[in-house]
Amino acid sequence: MSFDDAFAARTPKTKALFERAKRTIPGGAGSTARLPRNGWKPYPLFIADGSGSRVTDVDGNTYIDYLLGLGPMILGHRHPVVTNAVVQAVTDLGTCYGLPYELEIEAAEKVVAAVPGVEQVRFTNSGSEAVGTAVRLARATTGRRIIVRFEGHYHGWQDTVYWSNHVDLALAGPADHPRPVAMGPGVPAELEDTLVVLSWNDPESFVKLMDSRGDEIAAVLTEAAVFNTGCILPEPGYLELLRSETRKHGAMLIFDEVITGFRFARGGAQEWFGVTPDLTTFAKGLGGGFPVAAIGGSVDAMRLIAEGVYSHSGTYNANIVQCAAVSATMDVLAEPGLYERQRALGNRLAAGLTEMAAERGLDAYCEGLGTVFQLWFADGPIHNWRDAVAHANEPLFTRWYEEMVVRGVLFHPLQFENLFVSLVHDDRDIDETLEAASDALSVVARTRSAVLRA
Ligand SMILES: Cc1ncc(COP(=O)(O)O)c(C=O)c1O
């Protein structure tokens, strides 16, 4: 039976809901990322409920969930401490004042206590908003125009940064001097002149740029570990180089920690790698699944916001739902030993998958940091977007996804995404996942030639 047939047999109610949704919701889902063209074939699952590490679809199929809402469900679904805190706050306080309140300070104090590079923080609504704020703030602070960003990184959908994420290499120019490419229609072409795009993990091209144009550069914007092209970790010394060169040339360093924030260490990638940026953006994870994002930085980096010269505004900024969620999430994340335990759990899963793939003769390996990783089906090492294009085998990954989802294990169907292990997944989840993976990888290995011929 084909995957589409097997999937359809398991999901008749989902299929009917997708048809219904398409009539009133463009494409049938609330985000382009949830559509069939973004991997959810033949149609996205419709979920009925989530609890802890598992979700159940409307057809009654339960999945061990490594999608985790694309990252925010860092504490699993409906974590009681966060859910109760939000319900209590809404009941006792309301939802939105358009004025400051004490719980907002509490939430800010806890984020500041958790993250090494953050002395002050402003809450907002989405990662895209936080990045947009950081980029404009860097331009305002330095009086410069150019933002440096890297191929294969994603920083949200705003015009200023929606460039050269999963870029077509036929359009992108040479690796040592890429050309910025807008990632979709409607982005003003004029913005190309405000960007420099580089290959990540390539110290030479970065130093060359800083030597020649360092005094034009407002900020270098980077994921500190890339999770928008599978998983790619920084080469030793690379983040340190970004830090020292930006400092030397008076540019700001922005870590986009929308994915990495609070995920594998409480202080995020900056704690883990020991490199402190000027500005940091957060979103997924910050509110334990509630919609909140933030921009943080040193007092100096946040100066123009503090003075009111730079208008960081937003009706829903720091609303009560957000601050209750952040405050409670920060409390849960402070549990001693939590990250060590969950990283070990995720590493056990990753090691198990890598070993099983090798036993079956598959070119596949896991890269990651325990609570977030990817199983790369790849015939060579991947250090940046261009390596990923050269070495990653998407058809084999798709086969792997298909074999896992029908066995009740959910993760993103595309290889350039990743698997999230929440802070409430447990040994049973990992054991069951490895059991499913053993069968699934055997099928992938057995059908490899047919997949690659297709
Ligand atoms: C690193 C990074 N930055 C920014 C964003 C945009 O965040 P949002 O989807 O909340 O706008 C994302 C979303 O996936 C992301 O992964």
pLDDT in tens, 289-316: 999 999 999 999 999 999 999 999 999 9
134, 165, 240, 452 from 156: Cα distances, Å: 12, 10, 24, 33
- The closest-lying atom of ligand 1 relative to the alpha carbon of residue 126 is 10
Catalytic one of 57, 65, 202, 256? 256
Query: How many H-runs (helices) and E-runs (strands) does the chain carry?
Result: 14, 14
pTM exceeds 0.95: yes
- Ligand 1 contacts CB of residue 263 (under 6 A): no
The DSSP bridge pattern shows strands 372-377 and 419-420 to be: antiparallel
CA atoms within 13 Å, Cβ hemisphere of 260: 29
Q: Ligand 1: distance of its center to the CA of 91 in Å?
A: 30
Those residues whose C-beta lies under 8 Å from the C-beta of residue 210, and which sit 6 or more positions away, are 217, 245, 246, 248, 249, 251
| CATH top-level class of 80-333 | alpha beta
3-state secondary structure of 233: coil
- pLDDT for position 211: 98
- Ligand 1 contacts CB of residue 155 (under 6 A): yes
- pLDDT for position 454: 78
Q: Ligand 1: distance of its center to the CA of 154 in Å?
A: 7
- pLDDT for position 171: 97
Which string of b and e fits 152-165 if b means at least 16 CB within 10 Å?
bbbbbbbebbbbbb
Nearest residue by C-alpha to atom 7 in ligand 1? 127
13, 39, 44, 99, 429 from 10: Cα distances, Å: 9, 18, 13, 49, 22
In 3D, which of 330, 335, 420 has the Cα closest to residue 372?
420
Residue 395: asked if its preceding bond is cis (omega within 30°), the reply is no
Nearest residue by C-alpha to atom 3 in ligand 1? 155
Residue 201 to residue 384: CA distance in whole angstroms = 7
Residue 421 to residue 200: CA distance in whole angstroms = 25
Q: Which two tokens stand for residue 59?
A: 């057809």
53, 401, 406, 409 from 56: Cα distances, Å: 11, 17, 13, 11
A 10 A CB-CB count for 451 gives 16
Those residues whose C-beta lies under 8 Å from the C-beta of residue 79, and which sit 6 or more positions away, are 288, 289, 332, 424
- The closest-lying atom of ligand 1 relative to the alpha carbon of residue 129 is 11
Q: What is the CATH number of domain 3-77+337-453?
A: 3.90.1150.10
147, 245, 322, 391 from 144: Cα distances, Å: 9, 16, 33, 37
190 exposure class (CB count in 10 Å sphere: 0-12, 13-18, 19+): exposed
Q: Which two tokens stand for residue 319?
A: 């609303």
Domain boundaries, the chain: 3-77+337-453, 80-333
Which string of b and e fits 335-356 if b means at least 16 CB within 10 Å?
eeeebeebbebbbbbbebbbeb
Rounded (10°) angle between helices 427-453 and 394-405: 130
Residue 133 to residue 346: CA distance in whole angstroms = 33
Residues of the chain with pLDDT under 50: none
256 is annotated as an active-site residue: yes
Given a contact cutoff of 8 angstroms between Cβ atoms, the answer to whether 393 and 363 are in contact is yes
- pLDDT for position 1: 84
- The closest-lying atom of ligand 1 relative to the alpha carbon of residue 131 is 4
Which of 31, 200, 284 to mutate for ligand 1's pocket (most ligand atoms within 8 Å of CB)? 284
Given a contact cutoff of 8 angstroms between Cβ atoms, the answer to whether 349 and 427 are in contact is no
Nearest residue by C-alpha to atom 9 in ligand 1? 127
Which of 32, 67, 126, 128 to mutate for ligand 1's pocket (most ligand atoms within 8 Å of CB)? 128
- Ligand 1 contacts CB of residue 305 (under 6 A): no
3-state secondary structure of 409: strand
Q: Which two tokens stand for residue 152?
A: 């294969």
- pLDDT for position 170: 96
Q: Where are the alpha helices (DSSP H) in 227-276?
A: 238-248, 268-273
- Ligand 1 contacts CB of residue 228 (under 6 A): yes
- Ligand 1 contacts CB of residue 269 (under 6 A): no
Residue 114 to residue 344: CA distance in whole angstroms = 21
In 3D, which of 290, 226, 233, 344 has the Cα closest to residue 69?
290
- Ligand 1 contacts CB of residue 43 (under 6 A): no
- Ligand 1 contacts CB of residue 256 (under 6 A): yes
Which residue do the tokens 């929308």 mark? 258
Backbone angles phi, psi at 155, to 5 degrees: -130, 25
Q: Do 80-333 and 3-77+337-453 have the same topology in CATH?
A: no
Q: Ligand 1: distance of its center to the CA of 127 in Å?
A: 5
- Ligand 1 contacts CB of residue 257 (under 6 A): no
- Ligand 1 contacts CB of residue 158 (under 6 A): no
- The closest-lying atom of ligand 1 relative to the alpha carbon of residue 257 is 1
Backbone angles phi, psi at 136, to 5 degrees: -70, -35
Handedness of CA 287, 291, 292, 293 (dihedral sign): positive
